[in-house]
Amino acid sequence: MADDDDVVEDIQRQAQDLIDQLQQQGIVVPTGVSEDEAVQMVRDQFSEAGFECPDDQAREIVREARAAAAVIVRE
């Protein structure tokens, strides 16, 4: 079982690394639209780059980006 856990952790780490790389390349999270629209736009950007981005992961990206933007605006 430990080997299975290691494999799962490795896949999750690789997926997060890929997401981080794509975000650094300029994934744009729109702020002037609803969360659902922003999620779809993020998913479309990943798709155009040749990757799938599950809805829950795109939603997390949108929420984190918007939270970070809110902090910047308040400062």
Looking at residue 73, what is its pLDDT? 54
Per-residue confidence in pLDDT tens, the chain, 75 aa: 567 888 888 887 877 776 677 667 778 888 889 999 999 999 999 898 888 889 999 999 899 888 887 766 554
Confidence (pTM): 0.64
Domain parsing of the chain, residue ranges? 31-75
Looking at residue 5, what is its pLDDT? 81
- Do residues 72 and 34 make contact, with C-beta atoms less than 8 angstroms apart? no
- What is the C-alpha to C-alpha distance for residues 39 and 37, in angstroms, rounded to an integer? 5
Q: Per the structure block, which two tokens stand in for 64?
A: 């984190």
